[in-house]
Structure 1
Amino acid sequence: MSKALNSSAPTDSEVVLGILNNSEIILKRVYVAYFPMVLQLIINNNGTTDDAKDIYQEAIIVLYNKIKAGNFELSSKLKTFLYSVCRKLWLKRLHQMSRYGGDIKDFQDHIPVEDDADMQTERDMQFSKMEGALKLLGEPCKTIIEDFYINNHSMQDICERFGYTNADNAKTQKYKCLQRLKKLFFQQ
């Protein structure tokens, strides 16, 4: 194998197969091929070369573990995936060190790691289901649930608004409403 081919970026499928086959050569090629972009990201955002090495090593471990787990599906280029993981890890590290003052400067487009996108889609679906269940709930339950959980009203406020004799009665009614809401939510 020529030296030029050895230092070039491996194809995404070569990386996946290489990791599955425990190829140190592939891991070294991935490291050489994509480390400069990570170094630039970290240096441009309050980091050092050592920080970049640490973050990149963590990202390679994430990639390695995902591939070895057998459920890794690449929905972008491997380079973009690694960049996104490094970006996310660096944001977390900056936040932990209290050096995070907003968004970080990107030098290329990035996409969120696919797990985050799947979680966001699932969360959106759950919110839609909850909205539908709330509409079906009817009054006074809908208003009681919204006042308590969304508008942060106290049980005493709810008691006075709906004319319950005491806050415990309002709390009992809220509990019954919540049970009905759960039932409607899971029926959808």
Structure 2
Amino acid sequence: MSKVIKGSAPADSEVILGILNNSDTVLERLYVAYFPMVLQLIINNNGNEDDAKDIYQEAIIVLYNKIKSGDFELTSKLKTFIYSVCRRLWLKRLSQLNRYEGDIRDFQDYLPVEDDVEKQTDRDQQYNKMESALKQLGEPCRTIIEDFYMHDRSMQDICERFGYTNADNAKTQKYKCLQRLKKLFFQLN
């Protein structure tokens, strides 16, 4: 068995397999391995260390979600992919802050990765919208929805917890709550 050096970059295939197998060690090594590259990119382009940490975290989430979705095909080095995602995210952030001057100083090869980043951004916005709708939903609906969809509780458990006469009544209430949640969700801009 080969000895793993703590600060060394994991092999690309090791990262993909590690993420598929929920390995915290691989994720930790990934964070350590490529963060200095991202830090340099952000600092050289109107950012600071906190910006770099945020951007790097977002890029790792994009990578993680792509690998977990099963449709990830690495067509470059993983380092290049991560740099490219961070670069795109940083360009977008600079643009939002009106600090983008039309050019960015690069020191690594990069790939166009706009679709992946846009999909992740859209997904994040949808999650935030759903979270807001859930907060507005009120009780007992919010707890019923959370118990069923997030905590995998059975309709029988929910029935007992809320004092419904049977699981069918609880299911009817869950349906009504879901309809209210959808209405709130689509009312949010």
The reply to whether TM is greater than 0.5 is: yes
1:111 positional shift:
1.8
Match of 1:46 in 2: 46
SS at structure 1 position matched to 2:87:
helix
Give the root-mean-square deviation of aligned CA atoms. 1.9
Q: Structure 1 residues 22 and 56 mapped into 2: Cα distance closer, same or farther (>3 Å)? A: same
1:54-101 per-position Cα deviation (integer Å, ceiling 9, x unaligned): 000000000000000000000000000000000000000000000001
SS at structure 2 position matched to 1:71:
coil
Cα separation, 2, equivalents of 1:112 and 1:63: 14
2:131 is equivalent to residue 113 of structure 1: no
Cα separation, 2, equivalents of 1:114 and 1:90: 12
The amino acid of 1:51's aligned partner reads: D
The amino acid of 2:14's aligned partner reads: E
Residues 75, 114 of structure 1: 8 Å contact kept? no
Scaled by the length of structure 1, the TM-score of the pair is: 0.58
Match of 1:28 in 2: 28
Scaled by the length of structure 2, the TM-score of the pair is: 0.58
Aligned length: 116
Match of 2:55 in 1: 55
Cα separation, 1, equivalents of 2:60 and 2:103: 23
Match of 1:37 in 2: 37
The amino acid of 2:28's aligned partner reads: K
**Structure 1: gaps (5+ residues):** 117-188
Q: What pairs with 1:1-188 in structure 2 (closer than 5 Å)?
A: 5-113=5-113, 115=115
**Structure 2: gaps (5+ residues):** 117-189
Cα separation, 2, equivalents of 1:79 and 1:69: 20
Q: Structure 1 residues 71 and 78 mapped into 2: Cα distance closer, same or farther (>3 Å)? A: same
Percent identity reads: 78
Residues 84, 111 of structure 1: 8 Å contact kept? yes
SS at structure 2 position matched to 1:64:
helix
SS at structure 1 position matched to 2:5:
helix
1:2 positional shift:
9.0
The amino acid of 1:39's aligned partner reads: L
Residues 41, 106 of structure 1: 8 Å contact kept? yes
1:31-57 per-position Cα deviation (integer Å, ceiling 9, x unaligned): 100000000000000000000000000
